[in-house]
Amino acid sequence: MDFYLLAFLLIILSGSIIVYIYYLKEKKEELASIQRGFCPKCHKDSIELVDQRSTGCSGPKLLSYECPECSYYNSFAVESGGGCGTGKCSL
């Protein structure tokens, strides 16, 4: 067992987890801003939903937003309300 390699891997792993959590937090804040109708970058109310696709019955929806003012673009995976439990998608 190479201890240094293991320690190195642990540092990389915990580092990427922190980055991922930070990324999720930032993304959540951006989505909250968008859902109020404001662009998270330039804070104008010009944000537009440009694409919307569902990954399946119970899967999250992928929403893409774009701001024509500052060319901000981002897509969010949003848990779709409803789903199979509501009987909306009977196969």
Give contact residues for Zn ion (rule: CB under 5 A): 39, 41-42, 67, 69-70, 72
Closest distance of CB 66 from Zn ion, Å: 9
Q: Based on CB atoms, which residue is closest to Zn ion, 38 or 83?
A: 38
Q: Based on CB atoms, which residue is closest to Zn ion, 37 or 60?
A: 37
**Where would I find the beta strands (DSSP E) of the chain?**
48-54, 61-67, 72-78
Question: Of all helices (H) and strands (E), which one includes residue 80?
Answer: none
Closest distance of CB 33 from Zn ion, Å: 10
Closest distance of CB 60 from Zn ion, Å: 24
Q: Which residue from 83, 25, 26 is spatially nearest to 54, judged by alpha carbons?
A: 83
DSSP class of residue 58 equals S
